[in-house]
Amino acid sequence: MSPIKVKTLTRQIVTLADELGFKAVPEYRTRDGTRIDVAILDGERRLLAIELEASFKWFPQRVLYDVVKAHRAGFPELWVVTPFRASPGWVLKYAEELGISVRIMGEEKVLSELRTSLPSGT
């Protein structure tokens, strides 16, 4: 289990989103002043919030905070990228209650998942 290469992965996500016709915004600032690591937008439409979680400490609480940020910012989907295989437990059910789709994945899957989830921009 190696740590996430945050800057490299962020650049790769931005490049791929651009190739697919979308805009990826690193360090996306929400109206309430919080920050989402990478936001995928289709024009002004919020499609996907991506959070890069490199620390195992307080993992369920970190995912909960990520869910709340994504929900408050109006994103229907959140991907949490982490090298850890821990479960955030009840947080996934809570996200579902809020109407947020959450996926937890390793760094190695993000780009291929983006290619299949965002096949072409509008």
Query: 60-78, pLDDT tens digit by residue?
Result: 999 999 999 999 999 999 9
The reply to whether 27 falls in a domain is: yes
Q: What angle do CA 79, 81, 85 make, to 5 degrees?
A: 110
- Where in the sequence is the domain holding 78, given as residue range(s)? 10-117
The reply to whether 1 falls in a domain is: no
Check residue 119 and give its pLDDT: 58
Check residue 6 and give its pLDDT: 86
The reply to whether 36 falls in a domain is: yes
Number of domains in the chain: 1
Query: 40-63, pLDDT tens digit by residue?
Result: 999 999 999 999 988 777 889 999
The reply to whether 111 falls in a domain is: yes
Helix axes 59-73, 91-98, angle to 10 degrees: 10
Check residue 54 and give its pLDDT: 81
Query: 102-121, pLDDT tens digit by residue?
Result: 999 999 999 999 999 875 54
The reply to whether 39 falls in a domain is: yes
Alpha helices per DSSP H over 1-122: 6-19, 59-73, 91-98, 107-117
The reply to whether 5 falls in a domain is: no
